[in-house]
Amino acid sequence: MTWYAYTDGASRGNPGDAGVGVIVKDEQGRTVLSVHGFIGRTTNNVAEYTAFKTLLERLQAGQCTKLVVHSDSELLVRQVNGQYRVKDPGLKKHHEDVRRLISSLPCEVEVRHIPREQNSEADRLANQGIDSLVPVPAPGPQR
């Protein structure tokens, strides 16, 4: 079973108040996971990585055989796919966390860049996270 994830991190200012949004759909287009929350004051790139980590931390073994992750952050996608080196010391730890989490999953993971217009649901959730000022919920069963 293939799941399709959309992640987005938003920062109002760079750095500024930031939030994350994650939505995962199954092959029939049904939402199987939706998460949003406030992550404090940080940069847009850190918010993008935090959204990706938020997704990966919530996946459970056996839930899917393939995960296709969509992000409108070209930098994140190219770094995760090994096309760009991670030069920023502040992003290196986030990149390492993402790579470790991907390697711990029992499913195949594909990471794709999409235009911002195709990521509107995750963007809406990320902005909702900023507006709510409610921290990202801890990993565990949720919808």
Q: Quick one: which of 143, 142, 141, 1 has its CA closest to 68?
A: 1
pLDDT tens across 112-124, in order?
999 999 999 999 9
Radius of gyration of the chain (CA): 14
CA dihedral 75, 51, 82, 103 (to 10 degrees): 180
Q: What percent of the chain has pLDDT over 70?
A: 96
pLDDT exceeds cutoff 70 at 33: yes
- Going by pLDDT thresholds of 50, 70 and 90, the confidence category of residue 40 is very high
pLDDT (0 to 100) of residue 74: 98
- Going by pLDDT thresholds of 50, 70 and 90, the confidence category of residue 139 is confident
pLDDT tens across 70-111, in order?
999 999 999 999 999 999 998 999 999 999 999 999 899 999
- Euclidean distance between CA atoms 54 and 36, whole angstroms: 9
Side-by-side strand order, sheet with 108-113:
31-42, 16-25, 2-13, 66-71, 108-113
CATH code matching the domain that covers 2-132, chosen among 2.40.160.60, 3.30.450.40, 3.30.420.10, 3.20.20.220: 3.30.420.10
Phi first, then psi, for residue 121 (nearest 5°) are -65, -45
CA atoms within 13 A on the CB side of 102: 18
Which positions ≥6 away from 74 have C-beta within 8 Å?
113
pLDDT exceeds cutoff 90 at 63: no
Locate 31 and state its tokens.
Answer: 């939402």
pLDDT exceeds cutoff 50 at 142: no
Peptide bond into 15 cis (omega under 30): yes
- Euclidean distance between CA atoms 48 and 46, whole angstroms: 5
**Which letter does DSSP use for residue 103 in this model?**
H
- Going by pLDDT thresholds of 50, 70 and 90, the confidence category of residue 140 is low
